[in-house]
Amino acid sequence: MTRRDTRREGFGEAVRASYEEGYPVLVRGAGGGATAADTGTFGFSVIRPSSDDRQEIGRRYDEAAALVLAAFGRLGVSAEVGEVRDEFCPGDHSIRTGGFEDGTKLVGIAQRLTRRATSVGGIVLVSGERDLARVLERVYTAMSLPFRPETVGSLRRSGNGAAFEEVMAALAEEVKLRYGAEPVTLDDVTLETARKNRDRYRVRLC
């Protein structure tokens, strides 16, 4: 969920519903709305050092969307940029199949700006959309926000048979092509820092 969600009436009920479905709640720094992730989803981020360049917000959204669409093209996935009515974490730069009224969401994109860096990225839904729709329906209902479960899509639901690892590999190839990036293994210090700080973002049941 987002920091804005924590101030909504019904947030406590939404947290409880999420835990009952087996989804611990984390509060993220990026904007947008509540989203959900599971073993059929993965996230990506493009992070750069930066001053406060808010005029580049639109460009970064376009960059992330173009990256995803190029990766999907490698897999034969036909998708486009655009919001779906009453989708989770609504936004103009969602990646969807179908149109505004009848489409399904495959990727949600968000970004965050700080004084030292910018981050833009998203959550890619490969499979498991039924479980995600179920928990998101309970969360959005608790906070009295519009949401239609049928808008939660996935590559599997769209008819693409690519395995989870293939989808990640397609995105990684695009990242390598566009940025000259190379895969690295996280060092022990980074992993330990992540473990120590994870509870800062976890919402506990009262």
Residues 90-144 have pLDDT tens digits of 999 999 999 999 999 999 999 988 888 999 999 999 999 999 999 999 999 999 9
Residue % of the chain over a pLDDT of 70: 97
Sign of CA dihedral 161, 93, 103, 24: positive
Q: d(Cα 127, Cα 129) in Å, to the nearest integer?
A: 6
Residue 157: its pLDDT value, please?
97
For Cα atoms 167, 45, 98, give the angle at the middle one, nearest 5 degrees: 55
The segments of the chain whose pLDDT lies below 50 read none
Matching residue, tokens 């720094």: 29
Q: What is the pLDDT of residue 51?
A: 66
Domains of the chain and any CATH numbers: 40-139+146-190 (3.30.930.10)
pLDDT value of position 50? 78
Instruction: Write out the two tokens for 116.
Output: 């030292």
SS3 of 113, please?
Answer: strand
Report the run of H or E that residue 184 belongs to, with start and end: none
- Residues making up the chain, counted from first to last: 206
Q: Which are the contacts of 45, defined by CB distance < 8 A and separation ≥ 6?
A: 119, 120, 121
